[in-house]
A and B are shown apart, each in its own frame.
Chain A
Amino acid sequence: MAMNKKLLTVSVICLLFVFVLEAQDNDANVIKSDPLNGAYQSTYNPEQSEKILIRNARILTGTGEELVNASILIENNKISAIGKIKKNTKANIIDAKGKWITPGIIDIHSHMGVYPAPSLRASSDGNEATDPVTPHVWAEHSVWTQDPQFTLALKGGITTFHVLPGSANLIGGRGVTLKNIRSVTVQGMKFPKAPYTLKMACGENPKRVYGNRKQEPSTRMANVAGYRTAWIDAEYYLKKIDRFANKMEDNLLLDEADLDEDEDQERPPKRDLKMETLAGVLKGEILIQNHCYRGEEMAVMLDIAKEFNYKVTTFHHAIEAYKVADLLADQGVCAAMWADWWGFKHEAYDMVWANAAMVDQAQKGTGCAIIHSDSAIGTQHLNQEAAKSRAAGIRAGLDISRGRAIKWITFNPAKALGISDQVGSLEVGKMADLVIWDGDPFSVFTKAEKVFIDGHIKYDSQREEAFKRTDFDLGIIDPEDTRL
């Protein structure tokens, strides 16, 4: 039934699409509302899942709550009930007595796929460090889908992750949100309907990379000049596009003969990949994910956003977020942080263990804290990273429940990626992405036992066959064996 509904919806969308395309094709000068013509979209479409009832679990819902002795019902890839549920004879029952359940873990900062393992020059595809402003590159076009790090992350409970370009550039390119499922194509991994994101980077990295080449930027002030110049270009581009579109609407477009005389004024502007991405940000369709360590730099970046009227969704790494925690909370900007990384550069010198907890508690608990990994090791234990940050918060005298802290690696990253209507918490109607842990997920001794994505068990510590490996793992140590 659900399948039919989906087919119907897809067909309707397709029909609409054809209609729109035809309408546009009648006039070659019109800019298509979807310049991509439907390309690059997610092709991920999970098979309909079985009905599964998980019982007797302790559940951290991702909404802040902790349910004891509770159940979750999974139907048609979605969560169809949570809480006290009557035993349903038609469902497969999983007894989770003594186990904990959380939403699938979401890592908002990953370079898996673009910096895959093993680390080789041939597949080191995360930084287009040839120009400080490269909004035209898309991380998804670098993703190697056979990265064995994906499956390691899955064993740690990662069901969704956000792959970013590196931080060499002021504006590094588009990021992509992926589901942690095996697919030969990156389109097959793309999170359905997730908005695009744009990676920007503050501070030391861009100025070091280009400064070493005696090229701009070599200072933080040139960093800022670089962003502003790019946004001025984007504003101009957007105005040009809008002016043209308005003329179209007003039927002011002249016929072919007149066009030649009137040159740029009436000709549809040529597509510009860089500007399409930046304009997407100004239109609010593409979310800014901004690598930024220092407090004062975050404040400057927020002023740039004010000047050009866009929004910064998340500051990543945000070592000094605690110094501007009130400002971030007031402006509704999330900070994605490590639990304890520091000292690798000067802008990472002022780390405090309670960073996430302080961001979370700022302005009467209205802050948005996220724990990220930026590491193929860390992503496998993001629950431990959250545990360290929570413990540091408690030690600093802040009252942070497990229910609150689990949001740092579930709901908050989902919100910051624009997918919290679909994942990030265990609520009826959301995708059945969840993890059954063999104990308290805030303990170092606890491991993910079963990992569900869209209602399907993708990893089961007790059942090898549930687990799909990447091509890389086959025969690489022993030709007759599989890598771990």
Chain B
Amino acid sequence: MKKIIVIIILLFSLALPGVSVAGSQSVLIQNATVMTASDLGILENTDLLIENGLIAAIGKQLTANDAEIIDASNMIVTPGLIAPHSQLGLVEIELEQQTRDDSTDHYSAGFSIANAFNPSSTLIPYNRSGGITSAIVVPASAKTNFSGMASVFNLDGKLLTQPIAQDIAMVMNYGAESDSRASQILLLEDAFEKAVRFKRNKASILRGNYFDYGVYTIRDLEAIMRVLDKDIPLLVRSNRAQDLLTMIAIAKKYRIKMVFYGAKEAWRIADVLAREDIPVILDPMDNIPSSFDAIAARMDNAALLNAAGVTILITSQSTHNSYLSRQGAGNAAAYGLPQDEALKALTINVADVFGLSQDRGSIAVGKSADLVIWDGNPLEVSSFATAMMIEGHSISLISRSRRLRDKYLIELGLK
């Protein structure tokens, strides 16, 4: 069976030589254990050929002329991990406002963070060394309950980094706040209605006809319309089971796409989430009943959701340690989530939910060569990334933190 698959892949790879991306050298990764995060599962003693930034072939004993050879015996290769919800590139030091670009008082739904991304942030090489190759970068807060729109970035750290995809999800909060949650829903519906009216009468409004924008700008209303047009999903940060059900009712009423973040009580409505095909981004380790919105938090939330057929994406709640999504996935596995599903929750599921899976999220021929080579099971806390590739380029795993370590190892006479 395996042989057949390999042959099919090889045939498929032969059909690809026409594709070319300038600049990157061929690389042949040999004898790896390849965790594909796809239906191919885990492939032992397998080679990966990288050409033109893409995965050109997957198979046994591949050969390639002039390719750089990486011996990955006893190593594991996975797709690069994708942080599903972080402020990477927007925040350097949390408590120092001038190092943050993740919030605004001027815009609401239309707040796009795409222009603020700082590829030279120290968080980027650091999180690369933990295995993250790209990130869904989300705004923290904006005017009203909308926080703005998320964009996707590679973490190769190059200046002038352009987003892989811009403004791909609308983010909002729902739950316990100073304002009643009932009022929050009314405001949301009013915003939807306003966006629709604006769209319908845009020409006359721009000619000068009266329109009550309320707290919104044109940019905000057009962004909201993208949600109503099913162009982008509404990513709702919410925890209480009843709140999730209320938002699901909104999703059905307006026929919009929805993704939940947090969702500490999601397991209580796992069947509904599965039926309505609503994915959930969660931190499996957050089992604290931290508010009256999260009384039913528990360690096996991820496992229960997965068992019910819900698509889960695993995140860390700390932007600085975005890569600790791995530890979260490991803990989810310890509490019943199958390990292959845990890896998918760090990779392909993220790509799927945010429309990136054609090029990313799993190891498959034709996809971008965003790869991590590990010295052990990537779900294990003691495993480290030993090599990384983003779009076929070898990427350094040195970080400022690592430099500090090495400096003081010498000063202490420990090296």
B217 within 8 A of A: no
A-binding segment of B14-22, B55-63, B196-204, B401-409: B401-409
Known: A345-B95, A361-B414. A445 touches B333 (CB 8 A): yes
Known: A152-B288, A381-B285, A388-B382. A118 touches B401 (CB 8 A): no
A124 vs chain B, min Cβ distance (A) = 12
A345 contacts across to B, CB distance below 8 A? 93-96
Judged by DSSP, the binding face of B is loop
Contact present for B414 and A398 (CB under 8 Å): yes
B250 vs chain A, min Cβ distance (A) = 24
B380 contacts across to A, CB distance below 8 A? 443-445
A484 within 8 A of B: yes
Measured CA separation A353–B327 after assembly (Å): 15
A-binding segment of B42-50, B139-147, B294-302: B294-302
B415 within 8 A of A: yes
B331 contacts across to A, CB distance below 8 A? 381, 384, 444
A476 within 8 A of B: yes
A483 contacts across to B, CB distance below 8 A? 289, 295-296
Q: Which of A320-341 contact B (CB under 8 A)?
A: 322-323, 325-326, 340-341
Q: How large is the interface on B (under 10, 10 to 19, 20 to 34, 35 or more residues)?
A: 35 or more
Measured CA separation A444–B291 after assembly (Å): 27
Q: Which of B74-102 contact A (CB under 8 A)?
A: 91-96
Contact present for A118 and B287 (CB under 8 Å): no
B414 contacts across to A, CB distance below 8 A? 358, 361-362, 396-398
Write the A256-300 contact mask toward B (1 if CB under 8 angstroms, else 0): 000000000000000000000000000000000000000000000
Measured CA separation A343–B286 after assembly (Å): 20
Residue with the highest number of chain B CB atoms closer than 10 Å, among A352, A387, A443? A352
A447 within 8 A of B: yes
A391 within 8 A of B: yes
B123 within 8 A of A: yes
Measured CA separation A397–B405 after assembly (Å): 11
Question: Which of the residues B93, B285, B415 comes within 8 Å of A343, measured between beta carbons?
Answer: B93
Write the B368-388 contact mask toward A (1 if CB under 8 angstroms, else 0): 000000000001111110000
B95 contacts across to A, CB distance below 8 A? 204, 208, 344-346
Contact present for B285 and A377 (CB under 8 Å): yes
A379 vs chain B, min Cβ distance (A) = 10
Known: A326-B412, A483-B289. A118 touches B320 (CB 8 A): no
B290 within 8 A of A: yes
A446 within 8 A of B: yes
Known: A118-B290, A377-B287. A444 touches B408 (CB 8 A): no
Measured CA separation A448–B405 after assembly (Å): 32
A314 vs chain B, min Cβ distance (A) = 20
B334 within 8 A of A: yes
Judged by DSSP, the binding face of A is loop
Contact present for B294 and A387 (CB under 8 Å): no
B321 within 8 A of A: yes
Contact present for B412 and A353 (CB under 8 Å): no
Q: Which residue of A lies closest to B383 (CB)?
A: A391
Question: Which of the residues B94, B294, B384, B412 comes within 8 Å of A362, measured between beta carbons?
Answer: B412
A447 contacts across to B, CB distance below 8 A? 334
Known: A204-B95, A344-B320, A445-B333. A152 touches B404 (CB 8 A): no
B157 contacts across to A, CB distance below 8 A? none
B402 contacts across to A, CB distance below 8 A? 352
A145 vs chain B, min Cβ distance (A) = 16
A248 within 8 A of B: no
Residue with the highest number of chain A CB atoms closer than 10 Å, among B93, B408, B415? B408
Write the A383-398 contact mask toward B (1 if CB under 8 angstroms, else 0): 0100110110001111
Contact present for A387 and B381 (CB under 8 Å): yes
A442 within 8 A of B: yes
Contact present for B288 and A442 (CB under 8 Å): no
Q: Which residue of B lies closest to A398 (CB)?
A: B414
A245 within 8 A of B: no
Contact present for B334 and A342 (CB under 8 Å): no
Known: A362-B412, A388-B381, A445-B334. A117 touches B405 (CB 8 A): no
Q: Which residue of B lies closest to A118 (CB)?
A: B291
Contact present for A397 and B401 (CB under 8 Å): no
B210 within 8 A of A: no
Contact present for A391 and B290 (CB under 8 Å): no
Measured CA separation A322–B327 after assembly (Å): 24
Measured CA separation A208–B94 after assembly (Å): 14
Known: A344-B94, A358-B412, A445-B380. A396 touches B405 (CB 8 A): yes
Contact present for B321 and A391 (CB under 8 Å): no
Contact present for B401 and A352 (CB under 8 Å): yes
Measured CA separation A443–B380 after assembly (Å): 7
Q: Which residue of B lies closest to A350 (CB)?
A: B404
A135 within 8 A of B: no
A118 contacts across to B, CB distance below 8 A? 289-292, 294-295
B330 within 8 A of A: yes
A351 within 8 A of B: yes
In the complex, besides A118-B294, A388-B327, 10 extra interface pairs with C-beta distance below 8 angstroms are A117-B290, A343-B123, A352-B404, A361-B412, A384-B331, A444-B333, A444-B380, A445-B330, A447-B334, A484-B296
Where the two chains meet, the residues of B that have a C-beta atom closer than 8 Å to any C-beta of A are 91-96, 123, 285-292, 294-296, 298, 318-321, 324, 327, 330-331, 333-334, 379-384, 401-402, 404-405, 408-409, 412, 414-415
